[in-house]
Amino acid sequence: MRVDYADRTGVATRSTAVPGRESTVIVPPWPRPRCAVRCALVPLEAIGVRWKHSYAPLMQRSGLIVEVPEASATVDQWRQRLDPLAPFGVPPHITVLFPFVKPTEIDEDTTAKLRRLAASVRSFQFRLTHVRWFEQQVLWLAPDPGARFVELTAQAVEAFPDYLPYGGQFTEVIPHLTIGDNGAPEQMAAAAQSLLPDLPIAATANAITLMVERPDRGWQVRARFPLAGR
């Protein structure tokens, strides 16, 4: 599986004059399918994707993420307005694996595998360094080093080979923290500019969080699995 965390050349950049910091807005000039780059916790009927492990439109889902609470003070106000997931209880995060085991099928074997997976990965520090876009529709923050998240996804797939990133529909894994998805253009642009002075944001990946969807379509934490060395 080829992976790519969006460190590409040939993009239009615009830097801001923030003393002591270098922050960049990057606008990709190439088109991408929305669902190839989104964290994919949106309703399946909204994107029309047939996953390897199919979910009925009203069936609850689950996913593995790394929570990024260090970003909350900066991103929460924008996510509540622009990210459809935020009002449903999804915290600032970087996705590890989605779709994952159906909530009704999560059992002790599943959690035991997740404990072993987490114990095999050392916690690591990273920074959210750039504001970037997918197709001018999805606004996100790029983690550095992104490769650590790509590796974590690969390890999760190795532990759960029946659950591929984005259902196996795409060949790219691009770690990102979503700020807005298809929001009003003027609000998305305002968010992008507002975030720049607060970058970079230092954070630590401490755990893999298992999120599950409730019948009311909200999301909640089922369990957290601490990474090694925490």
Q: Take residue 183 and report the two structure tokens written for it.
A: 């929001």
The total number of structural domains that make up the chain = 1
Residue 5 has pLDDT above 80, yes or no: no
Residue 145 lies in a domain: yes
- What does residue 27 show for φ and ψ, rounded to 5 degrees? -110, 105
Q: Mean of the per-residue pLDDT values for the chain?
A: 80
Question: In this predicted model, what pLDDT tens digit does every residue of 104-114 receive, in sequence order?
Answer: 999 999 999 99
Statement: residue 230 has pLDDT above 70 = no
Strand bridging mode 124-134 / 201-205: antiparallel
Quick one: average pLDDT of 59-79? 96
* 126 pLDDT tier (thresholds 50, 70, 90): very high
113 assigned to some structural domain: yes
Give me the helix-helix angle, 146-159 and 108-119, nearest 10°. Answer: 140
Measured CA angle at 33 (ends 70, 4), to 5 deg: 55
**Residue 167 CA, distance from chain mean position:** 15
The whole model's pTM is what?
0.77
| Residue 188 belongs to domain with CATH number | 3.90.1140.10
Nearest to 94 by CA among 221, 205, 228: 205
- Please give the single-letter amino acid code of residue 42: V
**Is 53 a domain residue?**
no
Q: Is 86 helix (H, G, I), strand (E, B) or coil?
A: helix
For residues 212 and 44, the answer to whether their CB atoms sit within 8 Å is no
DSSP 169: T
In a domain, 7, yes or no: no
In DSSP terms, 25 is beta-bridged to: 14, 131
Q: Assess if residue 51 is contained within a domain.
A: no
Sign of CA dihedral 111, 115, 117, 121: positive
Domain of 72, in residue numbers: 12-46+60-226
In a domain, 144, yes or no: yes
Evaluate whether 141 touches 201 at the Cβ level (below 8 Å): yes
151-188 pLDDT tens trace: 999 999 999 999 999 788 767 889 999 999 999 999 99
CA 112 to chain centroid, in Å, comes to: 23
- Contact (CB, 8 A) for 209 and 31: no
Residue 3 belongs to a domain: no
